[in-house]
Structure 1
Amino acid sequence: MLERLWLRLGRLAARVSIVLIIMASASWAISSIYRAWEFSGPVSAEEQIPPNEAALTQSIIADAIRIADQHRDNTRVLRDAHAKAHGCVKAQFKVLQTLTPELRHGVLSDPGRVWQAWIRLSNGNALQQFDRVGDARGMAIKLLDVPGEKLLRDSRGSDTQDFVMINHPVFFIRDAAEFQQFFAAKAQGERVLAFFPSWDPRSWELRHLIIALQTLAAAPESPVSTVYHSITPFKLGPHNIKYRVIPIPENCPSYQQPELNRDLPNFLRSALKQQLSLDRVPACLALQVQRQNTSYYMPIEDPSVPWDESIAPFETVATITIPPQDFDNPQQNLFCDNLSFNTWHSLPAHRPIGGINRIRKAVYQAVSDFRHQQNGAN
């Protein structure tokens, strides 16, 4: 009796599984055809600002400050994202000597010029969790003593040019409306709801959920051994571009990263300290840019869509050298914590473009001001 019942249940489960597989395959095929139609060129080279973006931005600011206030370390207010730094290090940013004339704009105007810089390497989460936890990893570069009027006029960015990146090529948020939805859910501790805002399947953002999950990747061997992407687009003179930083170990002395205990909470800081402070070996990287080709689907307003590298390959424009140094001390760590990185700490030649960057301008500034006020920093 029981044996026949189990057999029947087994056959029913098998049939249901087959039906579900067929339905999932059909859904994937239909969505692939739709995406191929939706994600086809040409696209605009100009920004397109939705009428409700300003109101959505104010809502995002309110939620971002709530999130920052929720994440305090004793009496200090931490960043609402990228709270945990692996290190803040000095670096030299050298414009490529052979840079093509059409890419010589802003800080890249003078081939061979060397800019001094600070680089902050971090985890993406607002919590200072163990490095082994899946997370985005961030790199923020601040070039120093950059002359010229900046897009964001404040005392902390008046003489700097910032580049802000994470180690994933696309963003899991499309626009201001989805950004507001995400921050509201995050402030309530319910991030998953950002991707499932209602019971209506048409409102679900499954593709963006997959991107978010892919962003929460395992930690690299070292903060300087992975590729970092701008995700969002920027100007480079007349060009619309995205940029990235890649390791170029061939430009430095040969170095084999010792195997570290990945169960240690801060093993990425340990890896950086091992190379720069103990083994005294520099790290070498390169800044590259990818130019938009408007004949293909390379949108400005949707950073969840990658720009095809086979159509628009990356071009190296500068090299970055992080020399051996002792960086892990209380004074420098506090200095690093008080640094503000903002894509709008920028010359007009490198202006951020697209909806996510427009939101960043207001949100980053508001959260930075809140942190500095609460922490008593200038």
Structure 2
Amino acid sequence: MNAPTTFQGNQIGTPVRYDPSVERVDAGEVEAIKGLIATMRYVNEKTFDDSGHAIRSVHAKSHGILEGYFEVDANLPPELAQGLFAQPGRYPAVLRLSTVPGDILDDSVSTPRGLSVKIIGVKGERLSGSESDVTQDFLLVNGPAFGAPTPKKFLPVITLLSKTTDRVQGLKKALSLVMRQVQRVLVAATGRPNLTVATLGGQPETHILGETFYNQAPIRFGDFIAKISVAPISPEMVDLKDAPLNLNGAPNGLREAVVEFFRKSGGVWEVRAQLCTDLELMPIENAAAVWPEEASPYRRIGRIEVPPQTGWSEARSFAVDDGMQFSPWHGLAAHRPLGGIMRARKEVYEMAKKFRSERNGRIIEEPREKPNFVD
């Protein structure tokens, strides 16, 4: 673990204390969120009309559904011992691995990967809308920042992408092949992948279990402000970092790779927090800004352990893909989502949850204890 951040004077590295004034609503945000809701509903309706089954408007396809444990480290320094992490503990958890699109595509259309974590049995003051629940959700993607700074800037991007929902997959596969080549050139030139190119199909075809995931937009971290990351640390998973995975001719190749891995091995991820130490370098209302690790590194706060198991099954999909919702607004008030993109997610995700529940005739509710998956 990195050395504790100092609190002396005004030295560089002193965490910024949370205050409601760190959030500033853009003048066009309310209208932009209305546009996002309408766009995501279009995606929901289009995929439902084509399949007769309601799915998520983003991250529709799951590649792994896992149960394990979320452990909070003991003896954290005061600035990290905040909220859920104030006391050591071990909680049941559900993990869902996914990819970004709102339609179900062959995996050779290679897009950014997601990891959603639902921690069960969490007690404390709750966020509005989750008062009766005992869960804490973290939603993460394999990139350190979001693809747009604000809801207003995100709306035209997602509107354009929504028009490709359920269109001919052959065209998407061809575009993905081109975008992966473009991405290789960009990485060679800049040392960093381009998120827009990845979203258009330029995600490298690598093993999903080798990815490091980030929640991308800031959250309250007790007295402070942070971003969260989850990185593989068990040797078998570390070996999968950037490991090639040929997905051509394997429509569900990512899922098959996850199932094969957990059939033989367990996995461990490290949970990390990056504290905001400078509101200029680490803005709250610009979700596209990468917070520089030179100014504030990610530091360990816990771990996730998943034993060997069935990595995905129709029964697990029925229980989690259809029966659960993941949202950054499920959780403790001490981990309130911050910034425009997070504010937009609250309303957009509630619309999508209601749509899935009504169309599928299914109650979507928060678990109160460790799930008992019957595979």
TM-score w.r.t. length of structure 1: 0.76
Q: Name which of 349, 354, 359 aligns with 2:339.
A: 354
Task: Please tell me whether residue 310 in structure 1 is matched to residue 301 in structure 2.
Answer: no
Q: 3-state DSSP class of the match of 2:301?
A: strand
Task: Name which of 345, 348, 358 aligns with 2:330.
Answer: 345
Q: How big is the shift at 1:210?
A: 4.7
Mapping for residues 241-280 of structure 1, pairs under 5 Å: 241-250=226-235, 261-263=246-248, 264-277=250-263, 279=264
- 1:160 Cα deviation from its structure 2 partner: 0.9
Q: 1:167 aligns with which of 128, 132, 142?
A: 142
**Using a 3 Å threshold, how does the CA distance of structure 1 residues 239 and 375 change in structure 2: closer, same or farther?**
same
Residues 295, 183 of structure 1: alpha-carbon distance in 2 compared, 3 angstrom cutoff? closer
User: Paired residue for 1:128?
Assistant: 104
1:218 and 1:210 map into 2 onto residues whose CA distance is 11
For 2:247 and 2:158, the matched residues in 1 are separated by: 31
Distance 2:128 2:140 in 1: 19
Q: Which residue of 2 aligns with 1:68?
A: 44
- Distance 1:44-1:106 versus aligned 2 partners, 3 A rule: closer
Q: In structure 2, which of residues 3, 8, 23 is the aligned counterpart of residue 47 of structure 1?
A: 23
Shift of 1:330: 2.1
Shift of 1:296: 4.6
Q: Is 2:81 the partner of 1:97? A: no
d(CA) in 2 for partners of 1:115, 1:130: 34
Offset of residue 374 of structure 1: 0.8
Q: Secondary structure at the match of 2:305?
A: strand
Distance 1:144 1:123 in 2: 23
Shift of the alpha carbon at 1:236?
0.5
Residue of structure 2 equivalent to 1:227:
212
The amino acid that maps onto 2:126 is K
The 1-side partners of 2:64 and 2:313 are apart by: 10
1:375 counterpart = 2:351 = no
CA contact (8 A) 2:209 2:237 kept: no
Match of 2:317 in 1: 333
Structure 1 residue matching 2:278: 3-state secondary structure: coil
In structure 2, distance between residues paired with 1:260 and 1:219: 6
SS of residue matched to 2:209: coil
CA distance in 2, matches of 1:254, 1:123: 20
Distance 2:110 2:151 in 1: 26
Among residues 304, 307, 328, which one is paired with 1:323 in the alignment?
A: 307
Q: How far apart are the structure 2 equivalents of 1:374 and 1:227?
A: 34
The worse-fitting range, judged by mean Cα deviation, of 128-137 and 88-97 is 128-137
Please report how far the alpha carbon of residue 372 of structure 1 lies from its aligned counterpart in structure 2 after TM superposition.
1.2
Structure 1 counterpart of 2:222: 237
1:86 alignment counterpart: 63
Seen in structure 2, the aligned counterparts of structure 1 residues 293 and 331 have a Cα distance that, compared at 3 Å, is same
Check the 8 A contact 2:112/2:203 in 1, yes or no: yes
Compute the displacement of 1:110 (Å): 1.2
Determine the C-alpha separation between the residues in 2 that align with 1:303 and 1:255. 30
Distance 1:64 1:256, change over 3 A: closer
State the structure with more CA Rg. Answer: 1
Give the direction of change, closer, same or farther, for the CA distance of 1:218–1:256 in structure 2 (3 Å limit). Answer: closer
Distance change >3 Å, CA 253–CA 233, structure 1 → 2 = closer
| Deviation (angstroms), 1:327 | 4.1
> Match of 2:350?
365
Superposition deviation, residue 260 in structure 1: 6.1
Q: 1:137 aligns with which of 113, 125, 129?
A: 113
Cα distance in 2, alignment partners of residues 83 and 186 from structure 1:
14
- In structure 1, the residue matched to 2:153 is 178
Quote the Cα distance in structure 2 between the aligned partners of 1:68 and 1:178.
Answer: 21
Name the CA distance, whole Å, in 2 between partners of 1:363 and 1:81.
11
State which of 269, 279, 283 in structure 2 corresponds to 1:299. Answer: 283
Alpha-carbon separation, structure 2, partners of 1:106 and 1:262: 41
Q: Which residue of 1 aligns with 2:370?
A: none
Q: 1:145 to 1:295 in 2, by over 3 A?
A: closer
Query: Does residue 56 in structure 1 map to residue 41 in structure 2?
Result: no
Stretch deviating more after TM superposition (164-173 or 176-185): 176-185
Letter of the 1:171 counterpart = F
**Judging changes above 3 Å, is the alpha-carbon distance between structure 1 residues 254 and 306 closer, same or farther for their aligned structure 2 residues?**
closer
Q: Structure 1: which 5+ residue stretches go unaligned?
A: 1-42, 191-208
User: Over the residues paired in the alignment, what is the CA RMSD in angstroms?
Assistant: 2.7
Task: Give CA deviations for 1:162-214 in whole Å, capped at 9, x if unaligned.
Answer: 00011011222111211222333334449xxxxxxxxxxxxxxxxxx953114
- Aligned mates of 1:253, 1:246 — CA distance in 2: 9
SS in 1 for 2:37: helix
More helix by share: 1
Which amino acid counterpart does residue 293 of structure 2 have in structure 1? E
Q: What amino acid sits opposite 1:78 in the alignment?
A: I
Provide closer, same or farther for how the CA distance between residues 272 and 184 of structure 1 changes in structure 2, counting only shifts above 3 A.
closer
**Are residues 269 and 148 of structure 1, via their aligned partners in 2, closer, same or farther at CA, if it must alter by over 3 Å?**
same
The 8 Å contact of residues 253 and 282 in structure 1, kept in 2 or not, is answered as no
8 Å CA contact 1:142, 1:161 repeated in 2? yes
Cα displacement string for residues 115-144 of structure 1 (whole angstroms, at most 9, x for unaligned residues): 100000011111222223220100000001
Matches of 1:268 and 1:188 in 2, distance apart?
Answer: 25
Percent identical residues: 28
Q: Which shows bigger deviation, 45-54 or 309-318? A: 45-54
Query: What TM-score, normalized by structure 2, do the two folds share?
Result: 0.77
Greater shift after overlay, 101-110 or 364-373?
A: 101-110
Shift of 1:316: 0.5
Map 1:173-212 onto structure 2 (within 5 A). Answer: 173-189=148-164, 210-212=194-196
